[in-house]
Structure formats: C-alpha cells, structure tokens
C-alpha cells in the first residue's frame, strides 16, 4: 500500500486574518498588513508613531468613507463629536498620520496614540488608558469593502475615537477606565469591557427627541450608524444591565443602550469608575453598579 502524504497549508503571515476577511485571499493586502504591523512592532514607547506612506488605494478608501459618513454624522452624531471634529482637520484625499493626530490630542487633553500591530486583549488596551495612551492600529481596511471592517483600522481609530478624545470629559473617562482596569479582578474586568463597549464604542444618548451616537464603533461605521434605529433594540441606559450584557464584536449590535442625555452618560460613568479607582491598590470584588 502506497504511503499517503498529507499536509496543511501554513499561514506564514505576521497578521492572521479569518477566512471570511475581505483581504484573506489578496496576497498584496496581506503583505501590506504585515509591513504596517512591522512598523508598530519596531516602535519604541515614548517615540512618535511611525509614518506610513499610504498608497492611492488607501487614500481613496479614506475619502470614500468620509464622504459616506458626512451626512450620517450630520444627522446622528452627538454634540461633543461635532464639536471635536473641526479641531482635528480631517479632510478627504489625505489620511492623517497617527503622529499628527497624537500631537494634536496631546495639546488638547494630554492623550497620545501609540501604534499596535493588530488586536490586543481588552485588558492590555484598557491598562494603557491610565496614562492617557490610546493603543491604535495604522492599517487601512480592504478596498473591496470600504464601508466595512471586521476589526479596528485607522478609520475607526481616528474618525471614531479622536473627536471624543479631544474632549476632556471623555479623555478623563478613558483614563478612569485604565485606572480601574489596573486594580480589577477578572470579574470586574468583564464588567469594564462590557461597559466600555456599550458606552464608548456603541453608546447612544438623547438630544431632545432625537437619538444621537457617542460611540466610536457607531460613528466610524457607515453600515451600523445608518441602520441602528431600524435593526437594533434600543434599551434604557442602566449600568447594572450594561455590565452584565455580553456582546458579539463580529456582527452588527442587536442591543444598544440609550442614555437620557450626554451629561447623564458622562456623570454616571465618571462616578462609577471613580468608585472603582478609589478602592486603592487592592483588587476589588465585582462592583455593584
């Protein structure tokens, strides 16, 4: 009987992509992702983020997304996001360097961006917020799906997060998440992750009779921002409920929470996070929120 050889294709890329990722079967995109990841891996903490020479396709995606999001932002973005946007000077046709936006944020709120090669654990991400450092990717989503990304890309990091990080109230809340994470046990970390997700990534608030987005995930997603009112169940803001609610990052969110106002969202989050941080160096028991 002849021997039967079996083999499994080995993925030698630095950045691993799921098989349903838009760029999985695009060799040039895979190489590009690896090159940008290498820049992040070579970066030394405290230095400005490295410069990325974005190509024409990447610049085109940036422009297409900004054009698509502009009318949605006018309709759905909260007041603080609209106030922060002009501080950053974002325009179509030119992807800002992470270093430029980082320098601007440092002037405004003391926050800086630090590059990462790809996804990191939620705890790694939150721990760095304590010193007002926001870990961010620099790669661009695949050009075949400019209005969709299965993972945070440079559009999400800049369009979604930078306007709120230019506001001291949101900058402080991000830092408080980091301080709470640093002393949290695993049960509390889960509560922090869910609260960050449903408030700062996919949070909603009321402005009069209108529902507005404060979350970076919504504000950087053409698909989700344009359809959340029709396709998501909108629940009243309740920190206890939020902290117990799991989420799936791979699909549009089925549940979203709406605070009565942006001020109420900010005040509630600040009080809860300060309570966690006030417990000193001991790892707290899961908080009663």
Span 93-112, pLDDT tens digits = 899 999 999 999 999 999 99
Integer Cα distance of 273 and 180 in angstroms: 6
Instruction: Yes or no: say if 49 and 97 are a contact pair by the CB < 8 Å rule.
Output: yes
Q: How far is CA 170 from CA 164, 186, 277, in A?
A: 6, 24, 17
Q: What is the mean pLDDT of the chain?
A: 91
Report the candidate in 107, 240, 118 with the shortest Cα–Cα distance to residue 165: 107
Predicted confidence (pLDDT) at residue 119 exceeds the cutoff of 60: yes
Q: Quickly tell me which residue has 């529902």 as its tokens.
A: 211
Q: Which one of 161, 166, 221, 262 is the catalytic residue?
A: 161
Q: Which one of 156, 179, 181, 221 is the catalytic residue?
A: 156
Integer Cα distance of 93 and 62 in angstroms: 7
73 counts as catalytic: no
Question: What is the per-residue pLDDT for 282?
Answer: 43
Question: What is the per-residue pLDDT for 41?
Answer: 96
156 counts as catalytic: yes
Please compute the mean of the pLDDT values over residues 211-231 and round it to a whole number: 95
Integer Cα distance of 147 and 257 in angstroms: 24
Question: What is the per-residue pLDDT for 224?
Answer: 93
161 counts as catalytic: yes
Q: Collapse the DSSP code of 53 into the 3-class scheme (helix H, G, I; strand E, B; otherwise coil) and give the result.
A: coil
- Strand stretches in 60-199, DSSP E: 112-115, 133-136
pLDDT, tens only, 170-181: 999 999 999 999
Structure confidence at residue 11 as a pLDDT band (50, 70, 90): low
201 counts as catalytic: yes
What is the pairing mode between strands 233-236 and 210-213?
unpaired
Instruction: Quote the pTM value.
Output: 0.90
Q: Which one of 114, 179, 201, 224 is the catalytic residue?
A: 201
Report the range of poorest mean pLDDT among 21-25, 59-63, 70-74, 193-197.
21-25
pLDDT, tens only, 54-82: 999 999 999 999 999 999 999 999 999 99
Predicted confidence (pLDDT) at residue 147 exceeds the cutoff of 60: yes
Q: Which one of 99, 220, 221, 268 is the catalytic residue?
A: 220
Interacting residues of 57 by C-beta distance below 8 A, sequence separation 6+: 143
Predicted confidence (pLDDT) at residue 4 exceeds the cutoff of 60: no
């Amino acid at each position: 009987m002849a021997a039967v050889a079996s083999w499994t294709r080995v993925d030698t890329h630095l950045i691993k992509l799921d098989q349903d990722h838009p760029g999985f079967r695009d060799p040039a995109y895979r190489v590009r992702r690896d090159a940008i990841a290498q820049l992040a891996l070579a970066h030394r903490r405290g230095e400005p983020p490295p410069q990325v020479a974005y190509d024409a396709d990447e610049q085109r995606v940036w422009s297409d997304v900004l054009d698509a999001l502009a009318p949605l932002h006018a309709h759905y973005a909260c007041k603080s996001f609209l106030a922060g946007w002009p501080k950053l000077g974002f325009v179509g046709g030119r992807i800002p360097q992470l270093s430029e936006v980082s320098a601007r944020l440092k002037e405004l709120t003391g926050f800086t961006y630090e590059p990462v090669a790809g996804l990191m654990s939620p705890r790694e991400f939150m721990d760095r917020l304590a010193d007002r450092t926001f870990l961010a990717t620099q790669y661009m989503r695949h050009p075949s799906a400019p209005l969709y990304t299965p993972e945070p890309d440079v559009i999400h990091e800049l369009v979604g997060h930078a306007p709120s990080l230019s506001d001291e109230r949101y900058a402080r809340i991000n830092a408080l998440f980091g301080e709470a994470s640093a002393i949290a046990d695993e049960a509390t970390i889960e509560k922090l992750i869910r609260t960050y997700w449903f408030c700062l990534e996919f949070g909603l608030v009321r402005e009069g009779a209108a529902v507005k987005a404060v979350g970076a995930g919504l504000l950087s997603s053409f698909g989700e921002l344009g359809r959340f009112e029709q396709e998501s169940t909108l629940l009243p803001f309740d920190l206890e409920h939020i902290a117990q609610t799991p989420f799936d990052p791979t699909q549009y969110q089925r549940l979203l929470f709406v605070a009565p106002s942006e001020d109420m969202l900010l005040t509630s989050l600040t009080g809860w996070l300060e309570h966690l941080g006030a417990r000193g160096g001991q790892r707290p028991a899961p908080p009663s929120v």
